[in-house]
Amino acid sequence: MDDRQTKDLIEIGRNFMKSPDWTGSMTSDQDKKLPQPALYHEAKKGSEVIALPRDFEKLKLNENLFELLRSRKSRRIYSEEALSLLELSFLLWSAQGIKGKRGEKYATLRTVPSGGARHGFECYVDVKYVVGLEPGIYHYLSGGHALEFTGTQSADERLQSVEGQKWASRAAAIFYFTAVPYRFEWRYSIFAHRIALVDLGHVGENLYLAAEALKLGTCGIGAFSQSICDRVLKLDGKNEFTVYVQPVGKVRDREESEESAFYSFVTEEGL
Ligand SMILES: Cc1cc2nc3c(=O)[nH]c(=O)nc-3n(C[C@H](O)[C@H](O)[C@H](O)COP(=O)(O)O)c2cc1C
């Protein structure tokens, strides 16, 4: 890409970050009374569904918010120790769990806020070490708080999906968040995409704090491979595509320096 093209794309990116004036600037599909999209994906016909435990009171959670905010950091050095199914369940619930509904089909209320309660995300987890789960990729069925097995990816694909960041591919589980853009667009039309990304930050931070409360580690990944993630998650890349990735694992030593992992990624891998 030459300098001119780079400058043009930067300009587009800056404008995308700004909020256009709302008044009179759009008529959404909701305004046009077009049918509302489903609030979440249901399990595919015939797929294997695994109920997730909800007895979170059994977890040893650090519930001190001040301590969590102070200790939260990106943790990239994971052990091979497995997560329990209850821990995985809690992480999924924290990131995308449904706590209630508005109307029969109008909106879900979740552990995270979302502009207009549109919640246009799905979550998939590539499980490596979770007690009681075969390694493979699972789709989180937020509607029933369950998992749906969707297939597997090779160790190579796992590594490529995070653009060669080796530390990430060692995690017990990799969370892949996807966007289903029409869920936002139906209501917000041209405003949808900026709002969706603000929403996504809340999702990521909830996962950071939930992991911290369980003494696990996570780290946001912006440098993921769009094409590989979309392919392994079996997404069409248009009506649903990957937007954020977060590996989670047990941490070998909570005081261990993260600097080396971060800088080896930046320098040795050339990103
Ligand atoms: C959206 C986002 C994308 C990120 N992408 C990467 C990444 O691809 N690789 C990486 O090593 N760290 C990544 N990070 C972690 C940041 O480098 C980290 O948050 C930052 O250095 C501050 O450190 P702290 O989270 O420990 O406070 C990402 C963080 C966020 C929020």
CA distances from 127 to 10, 25, 106, 131, 266 (A): 36, 44, 32, 10, 26
pTM for this predicted structure: 0.95
Q: Is 209 in the pocket of ligand 1 (CB under 6 A)?
A: no
Q: Is 221 in the pocket of ligand 1 (CB under 6 A)?
A: yes
Q: Output the pLDDT for position 268.
A: 42
CB 148 within 8 A of CB 122: no
Nearest CA to ligand 1 atom 18: 74
Q: Output the pLDDT for position 213.
A: 98
What residue has token string 């989180």? 140
Q: How big is the CA angle at 42 (ends 128 and 94), to the nearest 5 degrees?
A: 55
Q: Output the pLDDT for position 26.
A: 86
Residue ranges of the chain whose pLDDT lies below 70: 257-271
Q: Output the pLDDT for position 269.
A: 44
Question: In this structure, which topology does domain 64-268 adopt according to CATH?
Answer: NADH Oxidase (3.40.109)
Q: Output the pLDDT for position 208.
A: 98
Q: Output the pLDDT for position 23.
A: 79
Q: Where are the domains of the chain?
A: 64-268
Nearest CA to ligand 1 atom 27: 73
Q: Output the pLDDT for position 252.
A: 80
Q: Output the pLDDT for position 253.
A: 74
